Amino acid sequence: MEEQSQSSFTPEADASYAMPPQNLDAEQGLLGALLLDNNVMEQVTDFLNEAHFFDPVHQRIYDTISKMITNGNLASPVTLKTYLEADEGLAQVGGAVYLARLASNATTLANAKEYGRTIYDLALRRELIALGENMAQTAREAVIEQNPQDQIEAVEQSLYELAEKGPGSAGFMTFSHSLTGAVDMVTRAYESDGKLSGIDTGFIDLNALLGGFQPSDLVVLAGRPAMGKTALATNIAFHIAQEYQKAERDGDITDYDDGTRKVNRGGVVGFFSLEMSAEQLAMRLLVEHSNVAARDIRQGEIDDEEYERICNVSTKLHEIPLYIDHTGAIPMATLAARARRLKRQHGLDFLVIDYLQLVRASSGRSNDGRVQEVSEVTQGLKALAKELNIPILALSQLSRQVEMRDDKRPQLSDLRESGAIEQDADVVMFVFRESYYLMREKPDEGTDEFLTWQETMNEKNGLAEIIVGKNRHGATATIETAFYAAHTRFSNLIKDEQAPVQQGYGTYNNGDDDDDDDYPSADDLG
């Protein structure tokens, strides 16, 4: 437009100034199309707003057109004049005459959507330039107390927020598109060895109930201290990572041209260990899979054969795609940024957070109350699971009211800040070991009560329950598993009348030299 060339945007005013990316012709073309046919707004309203226009006058024109159409009014050069006649910027480029010229010079309505995409793309480029300049300025002026890593994570967060905007980020999709995704899930279950639509947890009965952990699901695993939450989570994480390693070795992973991978079993695992250090978590895995008691390892009471087993397990653990971040009290925004980075650099199919209450809300709204803060964290985790299209397993503490009941089995109301967690989670599971409470109630030996207690202990010792209290996809149930306290390991519990149905992970070995898997019965575990 001739009038616009007189504005301050001319690069000749300063040869050292680089003109930001912009296309005034596209802006004029879209505005003219909108004034000719208000229905054009339906093509661009999902991704375009006034801030995407480069010319401030065009921003105000588009905003006024949008509001008029939204209110059910006709937006034309004549009706627009009433609302913009006091606009000094519009007056400088011709006022009402300029509005009429926009409509008369509009070439074709068919190109309106492409004009909108061009305007949006150029606005995105300008935001990238501004982000880069701000990053450079912040780096130059940073004080010594400011951690450069914090700036990197803040920039990553800004980049991802920028990437999530735009035409493909939201809005309705056709039912046929949704149906295709559902059929893909059915196909995965049909083609998988375990007949699962999600990721194999390593636990037969849990897989049967949930179909594995489903993409985009937030799964909460809760329990009182010493119940084995972390042990169960590491068991599942190790199994998923180990299965991925086997699939990669066996050539069962397909690489696509767009950089994505089709994973038939297992996956790359990220583990946020907010309570334990990475070394402590690694020690747990060594104990679980070497069948050497944790106490013996800590005290150095191991023989040559046990030491060799530990070394062999360590070599295997080096190869699995399990990534640990042990930053304490991590903000939700930082956690999300690091998960995105892991997926971009190494892939990510399953994420564990140990545990939920140690994640800090990013908004700094802790003064609003703990319930509000946890609500923000759970909503953030659910959004992250959907964004990355992976299941997220978040561990959670239970309130002390469990200890006040005769029946210590946990329920949904026992969750700390239960409203937020129960609402946002797709699956809520509890881990419960009755033998833990029975040990605290041991009566005096030689009494009738002791004999009854001993009989109950023989029945319950070595057993654990995974109680599925909420399942958005189906039924709830209680699943019995075996638990080996010395090795902090859970495994499948095979009833006496059943034959072994799973090989490899989570099996019981009695210490003999053969390679057979020895599955425990209830009697064996006493």
Q: Which domains does the chain have, with CATH numbers?
A: 3-164 (1.10.860.10), 192-326+375-490 (3.40.50.300)
Calpha distance 236→203 (Å, rounded): 8
Q: Is 300 helix (H, G, I), strand (E, B) or coil?
A: coil
Calpha distance 74→62 (Å, rounded): 14
In degrees and rounded to multiples of 5, residue 403 shows phi and psi of -70, -15
Sequential pLDDT tens for the chain (526 residues): 444 444 444 444 454 457 889 999 898 889 988 988 888 888 888 788 888 999 998 999 998 898 888 888 888 888 888 888 788 888 888 888 888 888 887 767 778 888 888 998 899 899 888 888 888 887 777 666 667 777 777 777 777 667 655 444 445 555 555 556 566 656 655 555 556 778 889 898 999 898 889 988 999 999 888 888 888 998 999 899 888 877 777 666 666 544 556 666 788 999 998 888 888 888 888 877 777 777 777 777 778 888 888 888 888 788 888 898 888 778 888 888 888 888 888 889 999 998 888 888 765 555 556 777 788 888 889 989 988 889 999 998 888 888 778 778 888 888 866 677 888 889 999 998 888 888 777 777 778 778 887 877 777 788 888 999 999 888 889 988 888 877 778 888 876 544 433 333 333 333 333 333 333 333 333 3
Calpha distance 431→177 (Å, rounded): 38
DSSP element (H, E) containing 289: helix 278-290
CB 448 within 8 A of CB 189: no
Calpha distance 274→356 (Å, rounded): 9
Calpha distance 174→20 (Å, rounded): 37
CB 233 within 8 A of CB 281: no
Calpha distance 81→97 (Å, rounded): 10
In degrees and rounded to multiples of 5, residue 109 shows phi and psi of -75, -20
Q: In what order do the strands lie in the sheet with 350-354?
A: 322-325, 269-273, 350-354, 392-397, 218-223, 427-432, 463-471, 477-484, 489-492
For Cα atoms 498, 210, 321, give the angle at the middle one, nearest 5 degrees: 95
Judge if pTM exceeds 0.75.
Answer: no
282 to each of 202, 325, 327, 348, how far by Cα in Å? 19, 12, 15, 19
Residue of 212, 183, 215 lying closest to 196 (CA atoms): 212
414 to each of 296, 361, 371, 436, 471, how far by Cα in Å? 35, 22, 14, 18, 17
Calpha distance 264→240 (Å, rounded): 11
HSE-CB at 258 with a 13 A cutoff on CA atoms is: 2
